[in-house]
Amino acid sequence: MQNQQTSMNTPPPVISTKDFLYLEDMLHWNLMAMKKAHAFAGQCQDQTIKNELDQIGQMHHKHYQAIMKHLQPNQMGQQTTLQ
C-alpha cells in the first residue's frame, strides 16, 4: 500500500469540536497573558521593565485579535461551522 497525503489549499469550512476547544484555549491563554502583563506593568517601578511588560501585553493582544479575525464568518468567502 502506498502512503498518500493530500494537501489542502484552503481549510475545510467545518471546525471539529477538538479544533474548536484548542482555539478556545489559545484565545484564553493570550487574553490571560495580556491581562497579567498589564497588571504587572502597573505594579512596576522600573520604567524599562514596565515598557517590556507593556510590549508583551500588546503582542498577546495582537495574537488574540489575529485568531479572532481568522474565526470571522465568511473569511475568504467561506462560512465556518462547528461540527
Instruction: Note whether residue 66 is domain-resident.
Output: no
- Under the banding of pLDDT at 50, 70 and 90, the label for residue 83 is very low
Domain assignment of residue 63, yes or no: no
Of 1, 78, 66, residue with least CA distance to 30: 66
Mean of pLDDT values over 52-65: 97
Q: What is the pLDDT of residue 80?
A: 47
pLDDT tens-digit map of 68-82:
998 887 654 444 454
Domain assignment of residue 33, yes or no:
yes
26 in a structural domain = yes
The neighbouring-strand residues paired with 82 are 15
Number of domains in the chain: 1
Domain-embedded: residue 75: no
Specify the pLDDT at position 66.
Answer: 93
Range of 36's domain? 15-45
Could you read off the pLDDT of 19-48 as tens digits, one per residue? Answer: 889 999 999 999 999 999 999 999 999 999
